[in-house]
Amino acid sequence: MGQRPVWKAAGVRWTAGWLVLVLWSAGLAQTAVQPRAIPALPPQQQVQPAPEVSAAQQAFSEVAAQLLGEYGGLSAVDRQALIREYQGRLDAVCQAQGPRCAADTAYPVIEAQLTALGDPHTFLQWPDEYQEFLSSALGGDRVQYGVKLADLDGERRLVTEVIPGSAAAQAGLRRGDVLLTLNGVAYTYRALTDAREASQAVRLGVDRQGQRLSVSLQAARTSAAELPRLSWVGERGRTALIRIPTFLAGGRVAVAVHRQVAWAQARGADGVVVDLRGNAGGSLLECDLAASAFVPRFERVSQSADGPQQMVVQGGQRRDDAQLIGAVPAPQLWRGPLAVLVDQSSASCAEFFAYEVQRAGVGQVVGEATAGVGNTATRVYAVTGGAGLQMTVLHYAKPGGVAYPVRVQPDLTVQSGEAFLRALAQGRDLTLEAGLQALRSQPRHGLASTDAAVGE
């Protein structure tokens, strides 16, 4: 059986990857071979049955077929030579097992092959990662606390986000809380995750801006989908804050964003802040349609193994080569002051969103330089044994050939290091404060409007 290697790359490897996910039909790419009828041969022409193929070989062959037929990234590596080399490595590790060689024996070989490809957007998702990805993409359930944590004083203990409706939300945890103890002893993140896996309730000692609290928490099975949410901030609470944690939410992100822009308009918001911090990407269609609530029109050219394709996004609709691909039912267009918050974990589709706002000049981007995967799109394929292959299938340019930037540089830089985290523990969000300041420097051109027109 293959042993899963420890991930050693710097930073965080998001389960859903750094991705812009191109969703076909039902939402995910499934590799399948359709059977076809084969006429029977006369007895004298009967052939011997093909040798039994191991699950390891099946998994490797599936990945190889996608690399040769569908890869649309920027790697210049000879993929045929790469497959031949790693086929030899698979043969060596499966030699003793023959047709009984398990799929997960192939996974380390496939990982090494994809690393050698030199495209950080293309990698293998092991079965647990793939299942978590499916839950996020399709809106399934999983056992979770519903809280996101950042490192502070050597442990992941600072609450940066609480998912509405989750166990953490019901327990009363808030953004900025610091976890100090767990069941009466010094808190460790490992102890917290062990309790979740064992379905055990824990009692947390929490510091909330100098006040000591005790919170009871137990993981619960709740929706993995994280939808955009609207809150009110700023002076007199008149600025709309639209938090978009992901563009993976079962096809409901863009509709929610347009609805929240309508709500902001109805309440007379004096500005909108869109928070894309920590957003690792998702569905390109959801991202484009959401961005159309703020950018009147934008275009791009995608380049895949099948050739170029022209995309036009306007008025809550996207057309690819003039064909309607998707639309929101009640499109809005915000015309007032706008700020988009990003950090070094804002990746792929989140980078597209921020770039389109910045390029159109309809708002300011505030925060840190983004992750640096803002010029490609990936598709996820099922692999034998329960794994998934995330692979680059497209790269992008503007009409005229200007390539999309690898990362987005903010108009106003705010670092999110230790000083930011300690300020958050004291109830201050320095990036949000800078975003609100950016709004005050922008002219008030008008309010949101319903805008259903689509350019051809």
Per-residue pLDDT, 384: 97
pLDDT, residue 79, reads: 98
Superfamily grouping for domain 229-377+394-450: 2-enoyl-CoA Hydratase; Chain A, domain 1 (3.90.226.10)
The whole-number pLDDT of residue 123 equals 96
Fold held by 142-223: Pdz3 Domain (2.30.42)
**pLDDT score for 445:** 55
Per-domain residue ranges for the chain? Answer: 142-223, 229-377+394-450
CB 114 within 8 A of CB 68: no
Dist CA 107 CA 210 (whole Å): 48
Q: Answer for the pair 368, 345: CB distance below 8 angstroms, yes or no.
A: no
Parallel, antiparallel, or unpaired for β 211-217 and 229-233? Answer: unpaired
What is the mean pLDDT, run by run of 10 residues, along the chain of 456 residues? 33 36 36 36 52 94 97 94 98 96 98 96 93 75 91 95 94 98 97 95 98 97 88 95 90 95 97 96 94 98 90 98 96 98 94 97 98 87 96 92 92 93 96 97 63 36
Cα dihedral 129→134→137→143 (10° resolution): -80
What is residue 26's predicted lDDT score, i.e. its pLDDT? 27
Contact 309, 320 (CB under 8 A): yes
Long-range residue pairs from 359-364, CB within 8 A, at least 24 positions apart, any chain: 359/298, 360/295, 360/296, 360/298, 362/294, 362/295, 362/296, 362/338, 363/294, 363/337, 363/338, 363/339, 363/442, 364/338, 364/339, 364/340, 364/411, 364/412, 364/435, 364/438, 364/441, 364/442
